[in-house]
Amino acid sequence: MSLPTDSARWSLVKSLFDEALQRPESQREAWVREQALAPEVREELLSLLAHSTGGHEAAPGFLEQPAPTLRELGRSGWPGMRCGSWELLEPIGSGGMGEVFRARRADGAYEGLAAVKLLKRGMDSAQVLARFAQERQTLARLEHPHIARLFDAGLSELGLPYFVMELVQGRPLDQACEGLALEQRLQLFLQLADAVAYAHRNLLVHRDLKPGNVLVNEQGQVKLLDFGIAKALDPLDGTDAGQTRVGERPYTPHYASPEQVRGEPVNTATDIYSLGVLLYLMLTGVRPYGRQASTPGEAAHSVLMEAPTRPSTLGPEVVSDAHWLATRQRLRGDLDKIVLKALEKPLERRYASVDALAGDVRAYLGGYPVSARAPSWGYVTGHFIRRHRLPVALSGVALLALIGGLIGTAWQMQEAQLARAQAERRFAQVRQLANKLVFNYHDQIASLPGATQVREALLGDAVGYLDGLNQELGQDRRLARELAESYSRIAALQGDAFSPSQERLALAEQNLDKALALLPSYLDSSNRELEALNNATEMWQGRALLHSRAGRLQRALDALEEGRRLSARALALAPGNKEAISQLATLKGRMALVLGGNYSQACLGRVAEAGTQWLEALALFEQLVASEPESPQWLNQLAWARNGLASWAVLNGDGDEAVRQGRQLIALRDRISALEPNNGNFQQQAAMTRSVMAAALSAAGRPKEGLQWLDQAGLILHKINRQDGANRAASRDAALLQLVRARTLHLAEPGAASRLALLNALRGLPDSAELHHDFYMTRWRAEALIWNARAHSSRPSDAEQALSYAEQAQALLKRLPDNPDNANLRWMMAQALGEQAQAQRMLGRDAAARLSAGQAMDLWGGGSAAAAPAYFKTWIERDRRSAEGR
């Protein structure tokens, strides 16, 4: 693990530089030398101050002024330039906002080549930087054999952002088709369609499918590149080379859809249209229209006004591909229909999905009827005969039997029409049953003691029904919404960290992804259904929670931003709607957690901002409670916000405020439990509230009082677990409660009893081998190891054991994805290193202790006030003294 990263260090330097400029010039150097900074940070900061406008006050935006461009540096500027662990070798391409270089791995870790995309100097406006960052985040989400992989990302020596991608040696798709048989071209298209469908399932629309973004390597494998304008982006100003802008949307005119040209909202149908253009090009060697267009405007006009020519009717005056001229008769019929259906200008007349388009291509290759054509008797029987030519040719008797079979097939088709109404009735019954399983039947047993296992079985059955319905979705917007909301509800019940569940996080993510993938099918910009908007907002909040629990903070922020947009639409429709207000308040609370509102969760370390978000959320929930004082729903959400504020106050070092919020929180939770005494969720929350109160009392220097609250919490959870042994969330909370109690006991009365309690708490948590990138639980186990190290660091005879615990904590944390944005990961790693330093000092290993403590101080941010919250001040001061050898 290499924390902090270069980008994190640069952020620290910039912050300190701005702070230094607020002081008189004569005092700046002395102020910098007084700060507890790593040597390289201190020297970089002094150098910047020395060069800031000749010793005068720095001009505004000094740190934002551009460094020399590659062109200004000359051709010698790029060979040998480093981008992280990669050395640039030669340019291989240039786009609108980035230049692409061939690069080699230069740090000795391994040998390899890659493509490095480096933002062009002069393009580094805030909007383009946002787009470049979005492309990096988009690529990080995608892992597919036909999509170029992302290896690395960071800032170059010139201060420009870059990312490192798989180097694809290949030719553009249209060139790769030259000389290939029709079947080979269609197989390449199916590889591309599979990649685009995968992106759609990951909630991304490429929006710039064109030959230059689809390469085919020497092994005949398609690689999809360049997600620079994927739909996850907001519309941005500026144009890319080869692109035009209409309605503030970037696109490539010859391959854009009509809605892109008109500047209308886009969805997966946009990529389906562009795939149609590419398929036309692959089959004929020319574009479907606009072949005479010489400007982007003319090309855009042809997209809107020209009808595509049927591929099989093109003549030699248009197509020069000799192979196509020999096979164009094979395009007549099915392939014509497939291509033209994908190129329908009205969205609703195109294929419903990329999978449907690919399905028709596969059907053509297999000799089966395609959905793009009406299933007439002659059409269906003709395909049947072509698939069975050999048996027909071998025997006249077989032919007569076949004809008889075809007559029977025709009769069966008529019977099928008569049966269709009955099938539709059965479909409606299955649809109704799935809905009742998720909402009606589940809710009737959800709060009953011991119901968790039955709930899980019921939800599993419901998913089976929903998946079956999803296969038959078609263009049914109402069904799409029902499926999305049902999948979302199941995901919440499988993976909600704060409710009774079996902690099926992987299943929860799968079902929530199914829900979100359905949103474009019914929730476009014209949708004004308030309930649908509120429910979709909740889906994105759930996705953010699961991302955050895994430590994927940027993806959590992206999900919350999607939710915020939907929430704004809902409130614009109905400013006083209580559910919309509740969703907004919850979004603020979720944002607080990601920013830095809780010591036990992955966060960005922006504690002050988190406090503001919690206060705003609390005010909105108080507004709802005031309107309906006895509503368990609003009271429960208000308690959630108070819980967040209490935990935030602990992290912020304000023990008294934490205790004040904790007392109000317990009174509120007990009131809710009295309103619904049989609700297992509310009982579980009442127990964990007491854990928050104990942490608040410890932060206020009163850990002995905290033990009493923890004993009450233990009794409540013991009752819940006795009644419902399958409730893994309650079992998890009981294990965490045991650790919190042992930690509190050590603060109150350090000694043999607290050491034994901490050891037992460690044994009660999941073993390291059972943890799979679950930041939340991995972090708790690391904390147990750290507190066991602290408990053993008071006696020289236990120093070796203390060192072992601290090293185990460090090794466990290193197994997590290396995410420099995750401040909580840095704080935990700093504590592990600090405990190692303490043990090493007791063992007489002073040099090693200074090294470990120095590494801890680097992770603490040098101990500056803005680097780590006040909760850690005791350990920061201790590590500073150890690093200085005191």
Q: Is the peptide bond before 4 cis (omega within 30 degrees of 0)?
A: yes
Do 236 and 249 contact (CB within 8 A), yes or no? no
Tokens of 315: 């003549």
Residue 165: its H or E element: strand 161-165
Question: CA 90, CA 78: separation in Å to the nearest integer?
Answer: 8
Task: Provide CB contacts within 8 A for 883, sequence distance 6+.
Answer: 837, 850, 853, 854, 856, 857
Backbone dihedral region for residue 751 (phi beyond 0: left; psi -120 to 50: alpha; all else: beta) = left
CA distances from 165 to 88, 105, 210, 805, 807 (A): 13, 12, 19, 38, 34
In the block, residue with structure tokens 């025997």:
395
Q: Strand, helix or coil at 101? A: strand
Backbone dihedral region for residue 864 (phi beyond 0: left; psi -120 to 50: alpha; all else: beta) = beta
Catalytic residues: 208
Task: Provide CB contacts within 8 A for 241, sequence distance 6+.
Answer: 94, 95, 96
Question: CA 288, CA 338: separation in Å to the nearest integer?
Answer: 13
Task: Provide CB contacts within 8 A for 153, sequence distance 6+.
Answer: 136, 140, 161, 162, 163, 164
Tokens of 180: 């290939």
302: number of Cβ within 10 Å: 20
Look up residue 147 and give its DSSP letter. B
Look up residue 212 and give its DSSP letter. G
Nearest to 289, CA basis, from 249, 241, 255 = 255
The vertex-772 CA angle with 146 and 730, nearest 5°, equals 130
Question: CA 444, CA 456: separation in Å to the nearest integer?
Answer: 14
Do 676 and 682 contact (CB within 8 A), yes or no? yes
CA distances from 498 to 313, 661, 778 (A): 63, 19, 17
Task: Provide CB contacts within 8 A for 426, sequence distance 6+.
Answer: none
Task: Provide CB contacts within 8 A for 704, sequence distance 6+.
Answer: 748, 749
In the block, residue with structure tokens 């859809």:
257
Nearest to 565, CA basis, from 512, 603, 527 = 527
Tokens of 239: 């144009």
402: number of Cβ within 10 Å: 18
Nearest to 491, CA basis, from 434, 537, 438 = 438
Bridge partner residues of 171 (DSSP): 216
Alpha helices of 496-552 — where are they, by DSSP H?
505-518, 530-549
Share in percent of the chain as helix, strand, coil (round to 5)? 65, 5, 30
Tokens of 370: 């395609």
Q: Is 117 annotated as a binding residue?
A: yes
Dihedrals phi, psi of 631, to nearest 5 degrees:
-80, 115
Nearest to 775, CA basis, from 736, 833, 824 = 824
Look up residue 602 and give its DSSP letter. -
Binding residues for ATP: 117
Residue numbers in the known binding site are 117
